[in-house]
Amino acid sequence: MPIGEAVIEIEDLSFSYGAEPVLEKISLAVQRGDFLGVIGPNGGGKTTLLKLVLGLLPAPPGCVRLFGQPLEMFKERARVGYVRQRALSLEQRFPATVEEIVSLGRVPRLSRWRPWGSADTRAVRAALRAVEIEELRERSIWELSGGQQQRAWLARVLAQEPELLLLDEPTTAVDPRAEAEFYGLLEKLNREQGLTVVLVSHDLETIARQVTKIACLNKRLLYYGVPEECSHPILEELYAGKRVLHHGHGWASSPSPSQGEGTG
């Protein structure tokens, strides 16, 4: 699939869990090679949007296409990698080495007719190398620092060899330096390997340097375009004076007056 071809197409997508709509008339397209940042306040529908794209929630038929195919028909799940929000706490009871965790990323590629082989071992090694934790592969995942664990989770999804990677606030529970390094890794994968990335984050400032496009989501899509043109009034409207819980970092006001206005 050449660069510029649509990887995700969303057209007029609305969704509600109950009576209240959570998403209203969302339309956007992610091209191959894009690095899209999705920002918005708590409850703005970011996780819901990712789950709809992944088929984890039922999208109305005809509203979502993946790799040019209607979502209802799309069967090649291994092409899409997903790092869910708060992945860490849910998996804490799992005793395993880094290499074992990363090997789990191959599961979507295996079947009864396609058992583990040398290509799988190579993919695991390549993923460990890509996030620079090869030397930690024998260690128990729970002995690692938060930032190292975060890299291991990223390696796991990279071992799957996805063409599209969706990450929902992947840097919870890591310090700002580890967060910056993690986003640097994503940028490298995007720029050097052409991986298409959709990253949910708590604010623009954190991700403005890495992303090529930004989506501002609060039930409706308030802005979709390059980060440089996402102006302060848009961010004001997006957060409407609300404070945002920076998952893992406590509370902070958003947006800050310095962001937007072409500072990215």
Ligand X SMILES: Nc1ncnc2c1ncn2[C@@H]1O[C@H](COP(=O)(O)OP(=O)(O)OP(=O)(O)O)[C@@H](O)[C@H]1O
In the complex, which residues of this chain contact Mg ion (CB under 5 A)? 46-47, 85
Query: Minimum CB separation from ligand X for residue 61, in Å?
Result: 21
22 contributes a contact to ligand X by CB under 6 A: yes
Q: What is the 3-state secondary structure (H, E, C) of 91-151?
A: CCCCCCEHHHHHHHHHHHHCECCECCCHHHHHHHHHHHHHCCCHHHCCCEHHHCCHHHHHH
Shortest Cβ 212–ligand X spacing (Å): 21
Judged by beta carbon, residue 193 or residue 256, the one nearer ligand X is 256
Which of 45, 81, 170, 260 contacts ligand X by CB under 6 A?
Answer: 45
- Contact (Cβ atoms closer than 8 angstroms) between residue 82 and residue 36: no
14, interface contact from Mg ion, ligand X, none, CB < 5-8 Å by kind: none
Instruction: For residue 48, state whether it binds ligand X (rule: CB under 6 A).
Output: yes
Contact in structure between 60 and 52 (CB atoms under 8 Å): no
Which tokens go with 198?
């959709």
Q: Based on the shown chain and the rule CB under 6 A, indicate whether residue 113 belongs to the binding site for ligand X.
A: no
Token duo for residue 102: 């990363």
Find the helix or strand (DSSP H, E) in which 154 lies. helix 146-159
Give the span between the Cα atoms of 7 and 5, in whole angstroms. Answer: 6
Q: Quick one: which segment of 45-53, 119-127, 136-144, 175-183 binds ligand X (CB under 6 A)?
A: 45-53
Among 44, 105, 227, 264, binds ligand X (CB under 6 A): 44
Is residue 17 a contact residue for ligand X (CB under 6 A)?
yes
Among 46, 65, 137, 246, binds ligand X (CB under 6 A): 46
Nearest to 210 by CA among 264, 263, 131: 264
Q: Could you give phi then psi for residue 80, rounded to 5 degrees?
A: -115, 120
Exactly one of 7, 47, 155, 203 binds ligand X (CB under 6 A); that residue is 47
Q: Which CB sits closer to ligand X, 44 or 81?
A: 44
CA atoms of 29 and 107, how far apart (whole Å) = 29
Residue type, 175: D
105 binds ligand X (CB under 6 A): no
40 binds, among ligand X, Mg ion, none (CB under 5 to 8 A by kind): ligand X
Site for ligand X in 167-206 (CB under 6 A): none
**Span 65-104, contacts to ligand X by CB under 6 A:** 85
The number of residues that bind ligand X (CB under 6 A) is: 11
Residue 215: name the closest of 172, 176, 166 by CA: 166
List interacting residues with ligand X (CB under 6 A).
17, 22, 40, 42-48, 85
